[in-house]
Amino acid sequence: MSRSRLVPGVEVVAVPGRGLAVRTADGEFLGIRARDADEDALLSLLSGAAAAPADGELGRVVRAFHGAGYLTDGQQHPKWPAARRDVRLLGEPVLTEPLALHLAALGAEPRTTPVRTAPDTSSTKTGDLLDGNPAAVVWCLDGPVPDGLWDAADRLPEHGVAWLRCHREGWQAYVEPLAAVPGDVTAAHVRARRLAATPAHRELAAYWSGPRTSGAPVRLTAPAAGLLAALLADDLGRWATGAPETAGLPARRRLRCVDLRNLTVTEHPVLPVPAVAPMPKQDG
């Protein structure tokens, strides 16, 4: 067998009087039944220092680790593919600036549109967002989403462009699912699902439409903006590199709410809203 290494987050520990145990990526401990296998040799194999034998007890244990997903012989950090490096960022600099830094560190090539020239509700067309042939468009708002602002952007997946966004409503910020292909969850879908899930749907719709009266403004702190930017960059990086989902809900079916008072993140499943069939015409 070829050499393999434990995947990040998986570790093996020697427990006095009980042999070896594996600590999984979820933080659970599982005992290793290695029978009469040499523990030092097993640790050497699991660390990738030596190739595992094709048969025998050591080979059996290593194959079990492979089957459980605890070992890898592939690249740990896949590179951001060139075809998906061009990422267009729109919105508030308090969010787009840290996001651009995260994306550049991951291997993308972000292009930031200053907020003063970002498309507005009345003039945005899908063609405007496709200018320069970006692989993805990310739009960050430090406030609620005005009616119609993201209608044109919701059509980006139909043109093969990934679409990701976030916005803030008071002390709550929302990181919406990444939409990469037709049929993925759009901003309009999230809006409809949120209205359907609350008994205060009239109030929520009125809040979105405005006007709103506020006291002292909520200001995004650097840690809060950094957290939102990190969540967006991670979602985009997983899409770009095809990294597998490791925990929680799938990124393209997940709405995350960040409580900006304590930076608590909660996840909510969200599905596309099926198209409504037109009412049949009645005779007469």
The pLDDT of residue 284: 46
Q: Which residue has the higher pLDDT, 276 or 42?
A: 42
In this prediction, what percent of the chain has a pLDDT beyond 70? Answer: 87
Domain 82-269 architecture: 3-Layer(aba) Sandwich (3.40)
The pLDDT of residue 128: 87
pLDDT average, residue stretch 190-208: 93
Q: How far is CA 243 from CA 41, 78, 175, 189, in A?
A: 31, 8, 19, 25
How much is the pTM? Answer: 0.82
pLDDT average, residue stretch 141-169: 95
DSSP for 97-165 reads HHHHHHHHHHT-EEEEEPGGGS--TTT--HHHHTTT--SEEEEE-SSPPPTTTTTTGGGGGGGT-EEEE
Highest mean pLDDT out of 41-50, 121-130, 201-210, 258-267: 258-267
Contacts of 253 (CB under 8 A, 6+ apart): 177, 185, 269, 270, 271
Q: What is the DSSP letter of 251?
A: G
The pLDDT of residue 254: 94
C-alpha to C-alpha distance for 44 and 41, rounded to whole angstroms:
5
Q: Which residue has the higher pLDDT, 7 or 260?
A: 260
pLDDT average, residue stretch 271-282: 70
The sheet carrying 19-23 orders its strands as 11-15, 19-23, 29-31
Residue 122 has pLDDT above 60, yes or no: no
User: From the CB of residue 262, how many other CB atoms can be counted at a distance below 10 Å?
Assistant: 8
pLDDT average, residue stretch 163-187: 96
Q: Which range has the worst mean pLDDT, 38-52, 90-104, 175-189, 248-262?
A: 38-52
Helix boundaries (H) for the chain:
39-46, 56-68, 93-106, 126-129, 187-197, 201-209, 222-241
pLDDT average, residue stretch 156-183: 96
In this prediction, what percent of the chain has a pLDDT beyond 90? Answer: 55
Q: Place 167 in a pLDDT band, splitting at 50, 70 and 90.
A: very high
Residue 114 has pLDDT above 80, yes or no: no
User: From the CB of residue 197, how many other CB atoms can be counted at a distance below 10 Å?
Assistant: 11
pLDDT digits (tens, 9 = 90+) for 233-265: 999 999 999 887 767 788 899 999 999 999 999
Q: Which run of H or of E encompasses 11?
A: strand 11-15
Residue 76 has pLDDT above 90, yes or no: no
C-alpha to C-alpha distance for 77 and 240, rounded to whole angstroms:
12
SS3 of 175, please? strand
Q: Domain map of the chain by residue range?
A: 5-72, 82-269
